[in-house]
Amino acid sequence: MVAIILDDVSIDIPIYDVSSASLRKMLLVRAVGGRFAQSGSHVTVKALKNVTFEAHDGDRIALVGDNGSGKSTLLRVASKVYPPTSGRVMITGEIAPMFDATLGMSMDATGLENIQIAGTIWGMTRAQIRNSVDDIAEFTELGDYLKVPVRTYSNGMLLRLAFAIATARDPEILLIDEIIGVGDATFIGKAFSRLHKLAERSRILMVAAHQDDRLRLLCDKAIWLSHGSLVQYGDIETVLAARAGERPISQSAGDAA
Amino acid sequence: MLMNVQDVKRALPTNTVPLVPAMSGPAAATTTDIVAAEIFDGFRAWRVWSVLGWDDIRQRYRRSILGPFWITLSMGVFILVLGVIYSRLFHIDPSTYMPYLSVGYVVWGFISSVANDSCVAFHEGSRIIKQIKLPFTTYVFRVVCRNFIVFLHTIVIFVPVAIYFKIMPTWNTFLAIPGLFLVVVNVTWVAATLAIFSTRYRDVQPIVGTIVQLMMFATPIMWSVSSLGNETLIAEINPIYHLIEIVRGPMLGAAPELRSWLVACGLATVGSLLAAALLVSKARRIVFWL
């Protein structure tokens, strides 16, 4: 059974290099959504506050909220990277976090070597890596370029390769932070359809992004976060509508596209 | 239709509710869970740390003709020049001094580079740490693995030295293998400890660098214990001396003293337990220090 269950979860992130300079703290509170608190000798950001929700088999959840509202933090809790400061977390299922597609790319290594290195970091077995090489080669259309060091690639080529490796698995829980927004239009289209297929194969999907139209295509539910708190969890249209309704009042300048 | 969390919970089919298996959280994460997740799973992730360790080396020496053998060459030249000069300086026969220096210096190279590299073990892995939950020992083992590969490249220096000075392998030579194993165990727990402290306290790295530099001269590597005369305590209280000795002794054909084995075994046991305890108690914090 695949599930993500958060029960009253809070995450406090300590900031060690913020001095007691109160002015700087004040400015930060205004700039970032989270709340700051003094805990012992260092400042902490309350990145998530008492978040409770459950996701089960078949759930496709969009995470919406302003910058700094806790979307990425929530994804890092779901990927077990952040242990909760308080509350309980239960995650069952194989997790595939995709926050930074270029993770594990080694610039001086060839494309094929990078498939080995990054694939291993992503948790693929040797057989899975071997079997995915053809698929990656086909998707990236890199051909013989796979045999030369990736530092010779253009940004677009590098991104294509990184994205193809990161999406070469069959995960049970797929966590995505910010859908690819770089590259030419053809690639974005192609990448999105690959992502769509991957999302369909996964059992639970959580995506954080600012493009509502893209989210509508991938998800049927949404979590709305604001200043680290869960505002609303439910049907995507309902949540997006509620958020759109509240936006002009609480937020002067929108950052969502 | 607005739906708050309570509604969602109520709407869920009851068969999806059981919260029993593997709850993680301050209340539920037991020490056994953390030991399994951070330490045993770290050994199981050998593919990840060996691939990362190899890639570190390949990145460093890519496009150079000699590749990692540059380390062999530079260390070989260092040992040759130092050996020729210091054997005269200390009035020791080169046939004794050169093999002694070459083994000691290569083993020291392994110990010192692990100590230095471990201070950045979690920093160099921070991109992975912030995205994929892997055992923290993965990043420590990567440092040890990488430097062990370098060690294997440099220990070959001993081969021409041994041939030239006619040092024949004896049964004692094989004792170098358990000796080396104990060195690896000891540097690993030291690396884990330093990795944790230097991630939390950024001043640890320069302190370690200074100590490592100092220990190179304070440890019998370029000089022998016998030259201390009656003051051998200076060497005997130094654990690094015993670690080097359990590899160097066998390689030079002598069985190391029991004392050195005991120190190495004792340190390995106590140190590993302490390092494991430290890792278990800090495992939930490390990601927030990066």
Interface confidence (ipTM) of the complex: 0.82
The beta-carbon neighbor of B16 closest among A56, A123, A235 is A56
Min Cα distance B202 → chain A (Å) is 11
- Between chains, do B132 and A103 touch, taking CB under 8 Å as contact? yes
Tell me the two tokens of residue B203: 């001043």
Q: Which of A158-162, B98-102, B124-128 has the highest mean pLDDT?
A: B98-102
Summary count for chain B: helices (H), strands (E): 16, 0
Min Cα distance B211 → chain A (Å) is 26
- At A204 the three-state DSSP class reads strand
- What residue numbers bound the domain in which A225 lies? 3-94+209-250
Distance separating alpha carbons of residues B98 and B89, to the nearest angstrom:
13
**Per-residue confidence (pLDDT) for residue B116, from 0 to 100:** 96
- At A87 the three-state DSSP class reads strand
- At B188 the three-state DSSP class reads helix
**Do A154 and A228 fall into the same domain?**
no
**Do A88 and A139 fall into the same domain?**
no
Residue A121's identity, in one-letter code, is I
**Per-residue confidence (pLDDT) for residue B211, from 0 to 100:** 97
**Would residue A202 count as lying in a domain?**
no
Task: Tally A–B CB contacts below 8 A.
Answer: 123
**Would residue B277 count as lying in a domain?**
yes
**Would residue A180 count as lying in a domain?**
no
Name the domain count of chain A.
2
**Do A57 and A120 fall into the same domain?**
no
The beta-carbon neighbor of A3 closest among B3, B16, B51 is B16
Name the domain count of chain B.
1
Sheet of strand A3-15, all strands in order from the earlier edge strand to the far edge: A35-39, A42-56, A3-15, A86-92
Identify the closest residue of chain B to A44 by CA–CA distance. Answer: B288
**Would residue A184 count as lying in a domain?**
no
**Do A8 and A86 fall into the same domain?**
yes
Identify the closest residue of chain A to B133 by CA–CA distance. Answer: A81
- What residue numbers bound the domain in which B132 lies? 33-223+230-282
Min Cα distance A215 → chain B (Å) is 19
Phi, psi of A107 (to 5 degrees): -60, -30
The beta-carbon neighbor of B21 closest among A84, A92, A106 is A92
The beta-carbon neighbor of B23 closest among A90, A100, A238 is A90
Q: How would you class B65 by CB atoms within 10 Å of its CB: exposed for 0-12, middle for 13-18, buried for 19 or more?
A: exposed
**Would residue B13 count as lying in a domain?**
no
> Does pLDDT of B50 surpass 90?
yes
* Residue A58 CB coordination number (10 Å): 11
**Per-residue confidence (pLDDT) for residue A17, from 0 to 100:** 65
Distance separating alpha carbons of residues B36 and B58, to the nearest angstrom:
31
**Would residue A49 count as lying in a domain?**
yes
**Would residue B84 count as lying in a domain?**
yes
Residues in B closer than 8 angstroms to A82, CB to CB, are 287-288
* Residue B127 CB coordination number (10 Å): 16
pLDDT band (50, 70, 90) for residue B20:
very low
**Do A63 and A27 fall into the same domain?**
yes
Q: Provide the mean pLDDT of chain B.
A: 87
**Do A31 and A76 fall into the same domain?**
yes
Which residue carries 């194993």 as its tokens?
B181
**Do A61 and A16 fall into the same domain?**
yes
pLDDT digits over B24-44, tens only? 444 446 788 888 888 898 999
Can you list the residues of chain A whose pLDDT is less than 50? 18, 20-22, 249-257
Report whether A3 contacts A54 (CB < 8 A).
yes
**Do A14 and A44 fall into the same domain?**
yes
**Per-residue confidence (pLDDT) for residue B228, from 0 to 100:** 86
**Per-residue confidence (pLDDT) for residue A27, from 0 to 100:** 58
Residues in B closer than 8 angstroms to A53, CB to CB, are 5, 8
Min Cα distance A123 → chain B (Å) is 8
Torsion of CA A45, A50, A54, A60, to 10 degrees: -40
**Per-residue confidence (pLDDT) for residue A85, from 0 to 100:** 92
**Per-residue confidence (pLDDT) for residue A30, from 0 to 100:** 56
pTM of the model: 0.86
Min Cα distance B150 → chain A (Å) is 19
Which residue carries 């998707």 as its tokens?
A139
**Per-residue confidence (pLDDT) for residue B9, from 0 to 100:** 38
Distance separating alpha carbons of residues B239 and B264, to the nearest angstrom:
8
**Greatest CA span in chain B, whole angstroms?**
92
pLDDT digits over B136-192, tens only? 999 999 999 999 999 999 999 999 999 999 998 898 899 999 999 999 999 999 999
**Would residue B4 count as lying in a domain?**
no
- Between chains, do A86 and B26 touch, taking CB under 8 Å as contact? yes
Identify the closest residue of chain A to B54 by CA–CA distance. Answer: A117
Nearest Cα residue to A2 out of A58, A41, A65: A58
**Would residue B203 count as lying in a domain?**
yes
| DSSP 8-state class, residue A110 | B
**Would residue B271 count as lying in a domain?**
yes
CATH code for the domain of A63 = 3.40.50.300
**Do A90 and A161 fall into the same domain?**
no
Tell me the two tokens of residue A203: 């059992």
Residue B159's identity, in one-letter code, is V
**Would residue B6 count as lying in a domain?**
no
**Would residue A174 count as lying in a domain?**
no
**Would residue A197 count as lying in a domain?**
no
Residues in A closer than 8 angstroms to B287, CB to CB, are 81-83
**Would residue A127 count as lying in a domain?**
yes
**Per-residue confidence (pLDDT) for residue B196, from 0 to 100:** 95
Torsion of CA B209, B213, B215, B216, to 10 degrees: 140
Min Cα distance B42 → chain A (Å) is 13
Q: How many angstroms from the chain centroid is the CA of residue A40?
A: 31
**Would residue A183 count as lying in a domain?**
no
The beta-carbon neighbor of B8 closest among A13, A95, A233 is A233
**Per-residue confidence (pLDDT) for residue B19, from 0 to 100:** 39
**Per-residue confidence (pLDDT) for residue A253, from 0 to 100:** 43
Distance separating alpha carbons of residues A67 and A225, to the nearest angstrom:
10
* Residue A179 CB coordination number (10 Å): 18
**Would residue B16 count as lying in a domain?**
no
Tell me the two tokens of residue A205: 């999907």
Identify the closest residue of chain B to A108 by CA–CA distance. Answer: B59
